Structure 1
Amino acid sequence: MRVDDILAEGAPPIVAILRGVKPDEVVAIGEALIEAGIRLIEVPLNSPDPIEGIRRLVEACGDRALCGAGTVLDVDAIEAVAGVGGRLIVTPNTDIAVIARAVALGLEPMPGFATPSEAFAAVKAGATRLKLFPATGFGTGYLKAIREVLPAGTKTWAVGGTGAANFAEWVAAGAEGIGVGGAVYKPGDSAATVAEKARALVEAWRVAETRSA
């Protein structure tokens, strides 16, 4: 299962970022996200016992969602994530070795970039999806400008300050999708709370999709 597969099935282009989630709560939250329609899920590696959390998430939800890790900073972390079945590799920065290793293992890297130089370096290393981070710090105009020079087929996502309120703005700027942290999960949130937030995000995507059609 790849990002393209998930999107082709009609799932919204939303990566749920579960920063701070604990292994004993991740499955219930993953199920709530999937029920609401969100099928791209990352557990940042600065969460409590993240590899165990990813293992449980993959075991319970890996047949319905693309699960993996965020805040991936080195090759050793990629090996650990791959070892428990994680497939999505999201980074806050552009690290050529990390991108190349993810590609070599058949995983899905989504490296963070801030400048054109970083974006082109990530593409050269094999990434086809890039995340502008922190997105709201740069704005939609910045994304539009960078997209004009990126190689054809390169998809950009907006992450950082993104959510239901500005989803449509980023889609209009050419973003394929967004990554959402606190707007979908904060440490201590129940599965019911996450489900409510997730439904609002999915509805915002439907509105954005309609406007862009």
Structure 2
Amino acid sequence: MTGEAVSRVALPSRTVASRLIVVARAERAEDYEAVLDVLIDAGIRSVELTLTTPGTFDRLPHLLSQYGEVVDLGVGTVTNTTDLARAVDAGARYLVTPITSAAFVEQATDAGVPIVPGGLTPTELFASWSAGASAVKIFPAGQVGTGYLKDLHGPFPDLVAVPSGGVDLAGAAEWLAAGAVAVSVGGPLLGDAFRGGDLLALRDRAEAFVEVCAP
């Protein structure tokens, strides 16, 4: 795109193969396991644990030990360099941030960890991509249509994008058909699972997303 070689860390292979990242935003980190058990059993292979969930850093080593052989566990909502370093040290398989920051991209790339920075405008998304991001997060994707990615691929044909924010089951299929490498899904899949909701219903929703996102 720029004609220059850029150092870029590839997204984890399981995440790319599944084309689906589940954003797990719990009220407390102790609630992760029960939901992860259901998601993994339903075929989910990539989960973003958010730093808005208290205790995520402390819980991550245990979760990686328990689930790391079957699922990519990333850390999301990274908004400063200190948390980025902590996520790397804790063993995050990838990093996600809602903002555009060349400094974040450089820090993650130097550590050898994939990073997906967020942005919405062409300028923001291109800035992250040209800095060496593993992919860019179109966020909030619910504010633009799937045709937006096709438009972006006009000037930026190599852009690897992950739409996030408001992506439901139908939207997941549409974004992937438009050329997204994966979709990032939260509420439409998780529903009320972290608030005591029906885990059987969660399994059904997860299986539906896995089927829609399968290559």
TM-score, reference length from structure 2:
0.86
Give SS of 2:151's match.
Answer: helix
Give SS of 1:29's match.
Answer: helix
> Does 2:164 match 1:159?
yes
User: Which position in structure 1 is the counterpart of 2:206?
Assistant: 198
Distance 2:44 2:119 in 1: 24
> Does 2:49 match 1:43?
yes
1:88 deviates by 1.4
Give SS of 1:176's match.
Answer: coil
Give SS of 2:95's match.
Answer: strand
> Does 2:24 match 1:18?
yes
Aligned residues with identical type, % of pairs: 32
1:190 deviates by 5.6
Q: Which runs of 4+ in 1 moved over 4 A?
A: none
1:21 deviates by 4.8
User: Which position in structure 2 is the counterpart of 1:71?
Assistant: 77
TM-score, reference length from structure 1:
0.87
Matched ranges for 1:161-180 at <5 A: 161-180=166-185
| Alignment CA distance shift 1:171-1:116 (3 Å) | same
User: Which position in structure 2 is the counterpart of 1:53?
Assistant: 59
Contact 2:15 2:46 in 1 (8 A): no
5+ long unaligned stretches in structure 2: 1-9
User: Which position in structure 2 is the counterpart of 1:147?
Assistant: 153
Indicate the RMSD between aligned Cα atoms, in angstroms: 1.9
Give SS of 1:110's match.
Answer: strand
Contact 1:94 1:112 in 2 (8 A): yes
Give SS of 1:99's match.
Answer: helix
Counterpart code for 1:201: F
1:41 deviates by 0.7
